[in-house]
Amino acid sequence: MINLVKVEISEKEMRAVNDVLKTGRLVEGPITSALEKGFTRLTKSKYAVATNSGTSALHTALYAVGVRPGDEVITTPFTFVATANSILMTGASPIFTDIDPLTYNIDPMRIKKAINKKTKAVIVVNLFGQPADFDSINVLVKNKNITIIEDAAQSINAEYKGKKSGNLADIACFSFYATKNLMSGEGGMITTNNKSYYLLASLFKNHGQTKKQKYRYVDVGYNYRMTDVLASIALTQLKKVKLFTIRRQKIASAYNRAFKNIKGLKIPHSLAHLSHVYHQYTLRITPGYKYTRDAFKDYLFRNGIQSAIYYPYPLYRFSHLAKGKIGDYPVSEQITKECLSIPIRPNLTAREIDYIIDVIANA
Ligand SMILES: *Cc1c(COP(=O)(O)O)cnc(C)c1O
């Protein structure tokens, strides 16, 4: 079976973990600091704060920008649940708006309609590794007291008009969960250019203590600290992130060339001014195709290729998140029924790539 995910752990990662264990500095030591520095460099952001997951990074970022109970935060319903759950963790309400039918990212025109006096922030997800339309979104909130949070869990090293993901909005959150383009098993990172957000994030993720004074508690806080053990894996991977990205993009180009003329099968739409990092390579199986989406998934499985539906349900369908009605989100409804992601990890072999192309081209 050609799996969607196969983590990339080389001797280098093993040595890095071993080195940390030998030093005895296991939590928020020099390796966590080095990883933070690496992220300021990669994204050209002023500040970075490591956390123990992408979800805790989002919760921390929402706190740092001042989201509090009763506020509304606009986001996309076509994303992983953590995006929306992090809003509930603050006591605010997620407000879902529909997506763009080509990129599957949040549609700026719909955000515009959802903004009201209670709107405190917007979480914009760069879905599957492709940055959203940040120029349009940043204009929408100009002169309003609304913060834009970039959910960059899937978009490390992506670019939007020459700027790196992680530096496209007021504050950004990364995830190093085992399936992400850069991973350490679990882990996360916040990047920002805003000093006040940086200081608030630093205290929130460490029991509400300021960086300068331990045991002086400014507010409620959590234990969202990163360990040096896992930071050492992420730091090792950070040195390879350009190679990982190029590899994913090369595989995507090969797939695009092979699949672009297949009737009813839609390849991912990638925009010219963006660098898409293909966290997922997601096909759309439209009614014109010879198989239904689910039958196509079975066909791939029978031929030894794993695929997955990201995501099978829009988030407003779940009772704890329910806000709008199904009719309000026709694009999300349609894409959840037609999407299918196939393997695109950097460690696919040339033979595996050719085989996947063959199986799909000859379906
Ligand atoms: C993975 C992911 C998260 C959550 O990150 P964890 O590290 O698993 O907590 C949040 N948002 C998106 C879009 C993700 O893909």
CB atoms within 10 A of CB 190: 33
Q: Is the CB of 80 under 6 A from ligand 1?
A: yes
Q: Tell me what pLDDT residue 357 has.
A: 98
Ligand 1 mean position, distance from CA 177 (Å): 7
> What does residue 93 show for φ and ψ, rounded to 5 degrees?
-110, 130
For residue 228 the two structure tokens come to 């040096």
CA-wise closest residue to 335 among 278, 271, 251, 268: 268
For residue 110 the two structure tokens come to 């719909």
Distance CA 281, CA 342 (A): 6
Q: Is the CB of 82 under 6 A from ligand 1?
A: yes
pLDDT digits (tens, 9 = 90+) for 132-142: 999 999 999 98
Contacts of residue 355, defined as CB under 8 A and 6 or more positions apart, other chains included, come to 2, 305
Ligand 1 mean position, distance from CA 83 (Å): 7
> What does residue 126 show for φ and ψ, rounded to 5 degrees?
-90, 80
Instruction: Specify whether the backbone of 143 is left (phi greater than 0), alpha (psi in -120 to 50) or beta.
Output: left
Ligand 1 mean position, distance from CA 334 (Å): 23
> What does residue 75 show for φ and ψ, rounded to 5 degrees?
-155, 180
Distance CA 46, CA 157 (A): 16
pLDDT digits (tens, 9 = 90+) for 249-300: 999 999 999 999 999 999 999 888 899 999 999 999 999 999 999 999 999 9
Cα-based distances in Å from 134 to 139, 160, 281: 8, 8, 22
Dihedral angle over CA of 338, 339, 342, 346, nearest 10: 160
Distance CA 182, CA 184 (A): 7
Q: Tell me what pLDDT residue 324 has.
A: 66
Q: Is the CB of 79 under 6 A from ligand 1?
A: yes
Distance CA 114, CA 95 (A): 8
Residue 41: HSE in the Cβ half-sphere, 13 Å Cα cutoff: 10
Candidate of 80, 173, 226, 279 to mutate for ligand 1, largest count of ligand atoms within 8 Å of Cβ = 80
C-beta separation of 180 from 156 below 8 A: yes
Averages of pLDDT over runs of 10 residues in the chain (363 residues) are 95 98 96 98 98 98 98 97 98 97 97 95 98 96 95 98 97 98 98 98 96 89 98 98 98 98 96 94 97 98 98 95 81 98 98 98 95
Q: Is the CB of 166 under 6 A from ligand 1?
A: no
Ligand 1 mean position, distance from CA 359 (Å): 31
Residue type at position 323: K
> What does residue 308 show for φ and ψ, rounded to 5 degrees?
-150, 155
Burial of residue 51 (CB within 10 Å: 0-12, 13-18, 19+) is buried
Distance CA 159, CA 356 (A): 28
C-beta separation of 14 from 137 below 8 A: no
pTM: 0.98
Q: Tell me what pLDDT residue 339 has.
A: 98
C-beta separation of 281 from 339 below 8 A: no
Candidate of 105, 177, 224 to mutate for ligand 1, largest count of ligand atoms within 8 Å of Cβ = 177
Dihedral angle over CA of 328, 329, 331, 336, nearest 10: -150
Tell me whether the omega of the peptide bond preceding residue 311 falls within 30 degrees of 0, making it cis.
yes
Distance CA 346, CA 239 (A): 14
